[in-house]
Amino acid sequence: MHQPDLALLLLRGVFGVFLAYHGYNKVFGGNGLRGTAGWFGAIGMKWPMWQARAAAATEIGAGLLFAAGLLTPFAAAGIVAVMIVAIWTVHWKVGFFVFRPDQGWEYCASIAVVAFVVGMTGPGEWSLDHAVGLHFDGWWGAVITGGLGVGAAFAQLALCYRPQETSK
């Protein structure tokens, strides 16, 4: 048994499937996509229904690709982007610890780091990337994951995030 490949498979599988399920919940949980869009509007996202669809699709798509180890640095970039947006729009103001009321940014940052590291190291031999001969590991994996993830997050925030001013 090759333990690093098993470790990467478990890491990708858990984080990828969990994120995909989080996206699924945006569509089918609670009040569904309409409820997600209402919350996105309340936190200051322009075009909240579009944002809800984009967030759910990114979480589902990037999560499943990440779990499968297919187009891994691109999937990891989607995860990094979603986590940066979540940190910026919701969690940063709460503080670091996830156990605080309204949850701090600790957990989202941990997910982003896991995605970045897997994007940088590659998904391992037990992945679809390896099966079809795709190799984006090392610096290329880091550049794709980090550059695309951070760039997409900042682009989304610049175009779509308009928090309301709070009166003092």
* Stated pTM of the model: 0.93
How many residues are given for the chain? 168
The reply to whether 165 falls in a domain is no
The reply to whether 88 falls in a domain is yes
The reply to whether 7 falls in a domain is yes
Give the alpha-carbon dihedral of 20, 156, 38, 96, to 10 degrees.
Answer: 70
The reply to whether 78 falls in a domain is yes
At residue 168, the pLDDT reads 55
Cα 119 to Cα 139: distance, rounded to the nearest angstrom = 10
The reply to whether 167 falls in a domain is no
The reply to whether 36 falls in a domain is yes
- Strand-pairing partners, residue 161, are 45
109, 83 in Cβ contact below 8 A? yes
Owning domain of residue 25 = 3-160
Q: How far apart are the first and last CA of the chain?
A: 61
At residue 164, the pLDDT reads 80
- The number of helices, as runs of H, and strands, as runs of E, in the chain is 8, 0
The reply to whether 125 falls in a domain is yes
- Phi first, then psi: give them for residue 146, nearest 5 degrees: -70, -50
The reply to whether 66 falls in a domain is yes
Q: How many domains does the chain have?
A: 1
At residue 101, the pLDDT reads 84
Nearest to 114 by CA among 2, 26, 19, 24: 19
Per-residue pLDDT of the chain in tens (168 residues, 90 and over written 9): 689 999 999 999 999 999 999 999 999 998 999 999 999 999 999 999 999 999 999 999 999 999 999 999 999 999 999 999 999 999 999 999 988 888 999 999 999 999 999 999 999 999 999 999 999 877 999 999 999 999 999 999 999 999 887 655
